[in-house]
A and B are shown apart, each in its own frame.
Chain A
């Protein structure tokens, strides 16, 4: 490194040498090389480079990898490597520190209870349970193996809604009005309204652990995505309706809703994970008791209410959900 005092950026100095003594300038080139580039042949500085044989390339590569004369590894001596690594260590440490400071400042300024913007998460999306793999519910009523996965999922999903659990953690609220708790401090814990599993009737899985699947009258549970501070329906509850879109539409019949075909206002607004710890999303259980076809039926359930958008072209889960039903005997 030391002997090449002109190396690096001192291009002006190279040129001075270059005309009079090309042999000298070939030397600093050593450290100019990087990675897989080939080195120029020092013995023949004046010769134009010809196509090198494979062996020559390998030899040069080896020399580049470790040059015993200059003790240079990959074109740099130990000291040179040390300096450059030290530089980059400091540089990146500084950068990391700066990033950390910025992130820290960001987290400091952000409320832990409410996100700064909620405009991208409204209007709410809709999901159903059971969701096993996708949105195809296909089973043979007579074959429990074909629907066991659905009932298991539903059971697991409904565990937090067990009456005991609900009564222990949550309060019974006044129906049909929003359960606003804005008067408390932001960090204070909010109460959550009870939503009892038993209210789901045929679809609670209490009386019929097969949720109707064994009879070919399956239940699904529908819920609306949680959004902090969102008041669905603007005073009037959001209702749910279902219709068959494709397949033997005539043999779809009508759906049953439990406990009601709407989401009661008392479950809103939601105050966020941190303060609304025991919040359980209200559900609408939908039963399809009158399906008389074994062919796949495409069913769409959607929300109806003020401020609900269920016709978005881009987002097929906004205010609606589409799934297929194939109920075998």
Chain B
């Protein structure tokens, strides 16, 4: 695992063995870490268990008159305003500096400073110092500044988590103080205040409900479940998040009214804790930046090693200390790949753009690769895996379970609609239903239409509309006479309609509700349109069907009806819903309908692709375990044939405790259970189960799960759409938010946004991420290759005292000129094999730049390239009269400006300037030779294993790159004025071809190497040369 200190800092405190030591060292940091740790614990509230009297005692609030104004002011002073405190923000200039001085930039800065230093030495010693080092220093600094500004600009757009939270907070609140209702600024609400909310309001603080009237709240931002939940004063669950009598800060009241006592304000509220957690979490390095850091280590190692060796060598050869230091600096700087930073940035940007086309919007450039390294995906259920739309999935009538079509585009299964029982069931479902389509949506597909009403009723409405045509028409034909809405005591909903069917009675009673309650009220059942007595056999069948559907995680509703006999209920009969002057028992059972939020169509395929790509897909949801498990099975997160401990227990008919947990590959963990687990137990769990579903998890637990996986060394992607997911999204190596359904907060916390909300887009992301990792390797291998021909001239200048074969200007022409586009073009290279069939890379072993890549690029390709270029160099000098033997040791004379009659091998005499022209011509030729060998290197680097003939030359950008670098080289050589501007001179045509044999050799050599690797996998050649 790379250096992830940042990530660890607060974890350490949690584990006792490290905690103490660490805290001593950084007291301030430790304190902050403890705070975050505190936030990660579950919400600890007991106010929901208190009676109203106890509440009164605890908060000193008069339950009808509220706090006194004076008391409220006192508390406000003490607790501070009810608002979310933003985390201490890093000033912009610090962020800018981070971009300027981070990682690779530092390497270039050091190089630049060394250059200035070397120039300083030269200037002090020499009257007319060579300005090369000065220029190089300036260019290096310019490269860093430009790329730094670019990445700063890229990053500047990101993270505004707190701002997005603030948008959720209400402005005003209606409080009762001194018995008077006041609308005050929500920030002034204090603990103990009596607050009134009504439909449409946002809850101004965490409230303990003391009275309510049909109040429903939308807790989706907290739990991710979009269905409105009832709020009443009664205590219904131990878990404060699930109990009915607490309403949470910033959630909205959908309908009804309620009155409650404020129990928490501001940052102490449940939402406040999530906000603080999400914005306060420190995000570690991305896997790519770890790789780049590792790369810098290698490069620096090689540079320092070479530099020091030649420093010592030059001292031995009799150079002065100052000269040796200038050489040392020169060698170190020559090792810095100036263009690489820009290349990597551009490659990532290109991939980010390509991903954006495929609906993955990447916010942080380095995150492009992260998805490719991902080994675990923790996915939220609702909205990500599922359609976030209740849909009728099954029906039970005629003693048979029928499957309804749940796909988004109605391509799924259909069932037999001819049975008259179905007609009756559809009629009950359509009539006993208060949901209506919103106006003016005729052109919208039924499933996508907006509906006013709760989720189940909408599901029924859409189902009936789909199967049987317009429900509105049905309702018009069978006008509603009376109705009893659903309430939690009787658990049914009933309505009486005028019957449009003349063959039946005048009035029709329809009822739906909890299946067992409905069944209790029935004594007959409709089979094939015939009423039959409800015998025990039938009841058993009902039970089985009910259990089966319930086991699928579906919400089941029972339906019954009764044609009210005309004799008892004549025309104009006054139905009284309070006195119940009509039968509500001995009805006729029609059937069951079961609803579920069905998985998105593309998800199962995407999950299986992830699986074949070696990525664990984990579901983390706030939903019920049964539903979660059903969906998990539906989408393949729990694959077919894999059982949980409970499944095994049920199959073998033994208690759960007797099952060896190791036998079960899959497991479903309830949040309540997770709460009691130690981190060791969690580690154990994560290690030994491959298919895990976490249900009923709180936002904090999602975070803990992510951290658990990260402890295992996994690179974790988290997908989510809700506010509740934001801490996990932030903590994950890559957080993926949903573009359409996702909340603003989640998008801010994420690194990537799926514009089409489609989980399948993640697969594309993984593919692109893996591809860019491979291609970056190729790109780096290509770029590093030219490093050797860039360094060796200087080395030979020192040890053999020959004229310098490649100058600073020409080095920069290679690094920032000709190498640039070809290196970038490798980002467009297609995959060599099916990259989705292999395992995710192991961040510990599979490095971006490993010593094999260095060995290949430096030790082999680079050397061939250098030899080729040196050959050209000797050819030119020999052609002009300086034979190789003459050159050895010529340096002192050659560089002597006053020596203007230097004799060559033929006895001709050269002025200083004349031989410098030759030298610069050689440098131009050396440069062009490098470009020529780089042609072959570029083609070689297209593949790491396949032959170029297998891969083809389909990459047009690369082909363009080949022509571009050649054209650029020719331009630099032949353009008039270049001799003055860059000291590059035109070459004779024969000098172009000198390096060609070496280009051919390097190509043949590498093809042979690849053949060996392909023929005998695992052989020595592969072990030593496959990067």
**Interfacial residues, chain A to chain B (CB-CB below 8 A):** 5-16, 18-19, 22, 25-26, 28-29, 32-37, 40, 45-51, 83-84, 87-88, 91-92, 95, 98-99, 102-103, 106-107, 110, 113-118, 120-121, 124-127, 131, 133-135, 223, 225-228, 270, 272-274, 276, 279, 312, 314-318, 321
Complex interface: stretch among B219-227, B599-607, B691-699, B910-918: B910-918
Q: In the complex, what distance in Å separates the CA atom of A126 from the CA atom of B712? A: 77
Given the complex of chains A and B, what is the CA–CA distance between A269 and B851 in angstroms?
59
Instruction: Return chain A residues, CB-CB under 8 Å to B909.
Output: 121, 124-125, 127, 225-227
CB distance from B425 to the nearest CB of A (A): 48
Contact, CB under 8 Å: B614 / A19 = yes
B84-92, B803-811, B1017-1025: which lies at the interface: B1017-1025
Asked if A225 contacts B1026 (CB within 8 A), the reply is no
B1026 / chain A contacts, CB cutoff of 8 Å: 8-9, 11
A225 adjacent to B911 (CB under 8 Å)? yes
Knowing A14-B845, A40-B844, A48-B711 touch, does A95 contact B908 (C-beta < 8 A)? no
Q: Given the known A-B contacts A36-B297, A107-B878, A125-B900, are A18 and B917 also in contact in the complex, defined by CB atoms under 8 Å?
A: no
- In the assembled complex, B301 has its CB within 8 A of some CB on chain A: yes
Chain B, residue nearest A88 (CB):
B859
- Check B874 for interface membership: any CB of A closer than 8 A: yes
Evaluate whether A318 and B911 lie within 8 angstroms (CB atoms) in the complex, with A19-B614, A103-B874 already known. Answer: yes
Beta-carbon contacts under 8 Å, B1-56 to A: 1-5, 7-8, 11-12, 18
Q: A37-B297, A107-B878 are in contact. Are A29 and B901 (CB under 8 A)?
A: no
Contact A115 B8 (CB under 8 A): no
Interface string of B616-650 (1 = CB under 8 A from A): 10000000000000000000000000000000000
> What are the interface flags for B898-942 relative to A under an 8 Å C-beta threshold, 1 for contact and 0 otherwise?
101101111111111110011001000000000000000000000
Contact status A98-B1001, CB under 8 Å: yes
Least CB distance from B916 to A in Å reads: 9
Q: Give Cα A52–Cα B491 distance, bound, in whole angstroms.
A: 63
A120–B880 CB distance below 8 A: yes
| B98 sits at the interface (CB 8 A) | no
| CB-CB under 8 A for A121 and B910, given A10-B1017, A46-B713, A48-B7 | yes
Q: Are A115 and B904 in contact (CB under 8 A)?
A: yes
Chain B residues with CB under 8 A of A11: 838, 841-842, 845-846, 1026
Q: Does B360 interact with chain A (Cβ within 8 Å)?
A: no
Q: Are A318 and B898 in contact (CB under 8 A)?
A: no
Q: Which of B572-627 contact A (CB under 8 A)?
A: 614, 616
Given contacts A8-B1024, A315-B913, A45 and B908 within 8 Å (CB-CB): no
Asked if B871 is an interface residue, CB under 8 A from chain A, the answer is yes
Q: Is B305 an interface residue (CB 8 A)?
A: yes
B294 neighbours in A (Cβ, 8 Å) = 37
B80 interfacial contact with A, CB 8 Å: no
A273 to B711, CA, bound (A): 77
Q: Is the CB of A115 within 8 A of B1018?
A: no
Residues of chain A contacted by B18 (CB below 8 angstroms):
50
The one of B4, B880, B913 that contacts A115, using a Cβ cutoff of 8 Å = B880
Q: How far is the CA of A277 from the CA of B859 in the complex (A)?
A: 46
Closest 6 CB pairs of A and B: A8-B1023, A9-B1026, A15-B839, A273-B907, A125-B911, A315-B913
Which of B4, B881, B906, B907 counts the most A-chain CB atoms under 10 A from its CB?
A: B906
Chain A residue, CB-CB nearest to B838 = A12
Known: A8-B1022, A35-B298, A272-B906. 14 other contacts (CB 8 A): A5-B1018, A15-B839, A15-B840, A34-B298, A49-B1, A83-B1020, A84-B1024, A107-B884, A121-B880, A124-B909, A126-B900, A225-B901, A227-B909, A315-B912
A107 to B911, CA, bound (A): 25
Q: List residues of B whose CB falls within 8 A of some A CB.
A: 1-5, 7-8, 11-12, 18, 294, 297-298, 301-302, 305, 375, 614, 616, 683, 690, 710-713, 838-842, 844-847, 850-852, 854, 859-860, 863-864, 867, 870-871, 874-875, 878-881, 883-884, 898, 900-901, 903-914, 917-918, 921, 988, 997-998, 1001, 1013, 1017-1018, 1020, 1022-1027
The answer for the CA separation of A98 and B994 in the assembled complex, in Å, is 13
From A34, A37, A126, A135, name the one whose CB has the most chain B CB atoms within 10 angstroms: A34
Contact A317:B913 (CB < 8 A) given known A25-B842, A121-B880: yes
Say how far A33's CB is from chain B's closest CB, in angstroms.
8
Is the Cβ of B713 less than 8 Å from the Cβ of A9? no
Q: A121-B880, A227-B909, A318-B913 are in contact. Are A49 and B839 (CB under 8 A)?
A: no
Q: Are B845 and A28 in contact (CB under 8 A)?
A: yes
> With A and B bound together, what is the CA distance between A99 and B847 in angstroms?
34
Task: Give the residue of A14, A50, A110, A317 whose beta carbon is less than 8 angstroms from that of B842.
Answer: A14
Q: A26-B844, A110-B878 are in contact. Are A125 and B2 (CB under 8 A)?
A: no
Q: Are A12 and B839 in contact (CB under 8 A)?
A: yes
Cβ contact within 8 Å between A10 and B841 = no
What separation, in Å, do the CA atoms of A106 and B880 have in the docked complex?
A: 13
**For residue A116, which residues in chain B have a CB less than 8 angstroms away from its CB?**
878-880
**Given known A-B contacts A8-B1022, A46-B713, A226-B909, A95 and B867 have beta carbons under 8 A apart:** yes
Give the chain A neighbours of B846 by CB distance below 8 A. 11, 14-15
A50, A83, A103, A314: the one contacting B884 at CB < 8 Å is: A103
**Cβ of A300 to closest chain B Cβ, rounded Å:** 14
- Chain B residues with CB under 8 Å of A321's CB are 900
Output the least CB separation between A20 and chain B (Å).
Answer: 9
Please give me the residue from chain B that is nearest to A8 by CB atom: B1023
Partner of B8 from A46, A48, A316 at Cβ < 8 Å: A48
The reply to whether B845 and A106 form a contact with Cβ atoms under 8 Å apart is no
Q: How far is A91 from B901 in the complex, measured between Cα atoms in Å?
A: 41
Given A95-B863, A314-B913, do A106 and B875 touch, yes or no (CB 8 Å)?
Answer: yes
A33 — which chain B residues lie within 8 A by C-beta?
Answer: 851
How near does chain B come to A24, taking the closest CB pair, in angstroms? 11
Verify A121–B301 contact, CB threshold 8 A: no
Q: Is the CB of A46 within 8 A of B1023?
A: no
Cα A274 to Cα B844 with chains together (Å): 65
Complex alpha-carbon distance, A316 and B897, angstroms: 11
**Cβ-defined contact, B914 with A228, below 8 A:** no
A51 touches B5 (CB 8 A): yes
A residues near B860, Cβ cutoff 8 Å: 91
Given known contacts A9-B1023, A34-B301, A18 and B906 CB-to-CB distance under 8 angstroms = no
Q: How far is the CA of A22 from the CA of B714 in the complex (A)?
A: 11
> Nearest residue in A to B866 (C-beta to C-beta)?
A95
- A114: which B residues are within 8 A, CB to CB? 906
Instruction: Give A227 to B842 CA distance when docked, in angstroms.
Output: 66
C-alpha gap A328/B900 in the complex (Å): 28
Contact partner, A120, options B4, B883, B914, B998, Cβ 8 Å: B914
Choose among A16, A117, A228 the residue that contacts B907 (Cβ–Cβ < 8 A): A228
B11 to chain A, nearest CB (A): 8
A131→B899 CA distance, assembly (Å): 9
Q: Nearest Cβ in chain A — how far from B243, in angstroms?
A: 37
Closest to B304 in A: A36
Partner of B2, one of A49, A95, A273, A315: A49
Would A118 and B845 be within 8 Å (CB), given that A7-B1023, A46-B712, A84-B1024 are in contact? no
Residues of B within 8 A of A22 (CB): 712-713
B375, B854, B905, B908: which has the most chain A beta carbons within 10 Å? B908
Q: Which residue of B lies closest to A134 (CB)?
A: B898
Q: List 14 A-B contacts (CB under 8 A).
A: A8-B1024, A9-B852, A26-B844, A35-B302, A48-B8, A49-B3, A91-B863, A106-B871, A106-B878, A115-B904, A125-B909, A127-B909, A225-B908, A315-B914
Give A103 to B305 CA distance when docked, in angstroms. 31
Q: Is the CB of A115 within 8 A of B711?
A: no
B900 touches A46 (CB 8 A): no
Could you tell me the distance between the alpha carbons of A19 and B614 in the complex, rounded to whole angstroms?
Answer: 9
Q: Give the residue name and chain of the A residue nearest to B863 (CB).
A: A95
Could you say which residues of chain B place their CB within 8 Å of the CB of A50?
A: 5, 8, 12, 18
Instruction: Give CA–CA (A84, B1025) in the complex, Å.
Output: 10
A25, A102, A270 — which one has the most chain B CB atoms within 10 A of its CB?
Answer: A102
**Residue numbers in B under 8 Å from A107 (CB-CB):** 878, 883-884
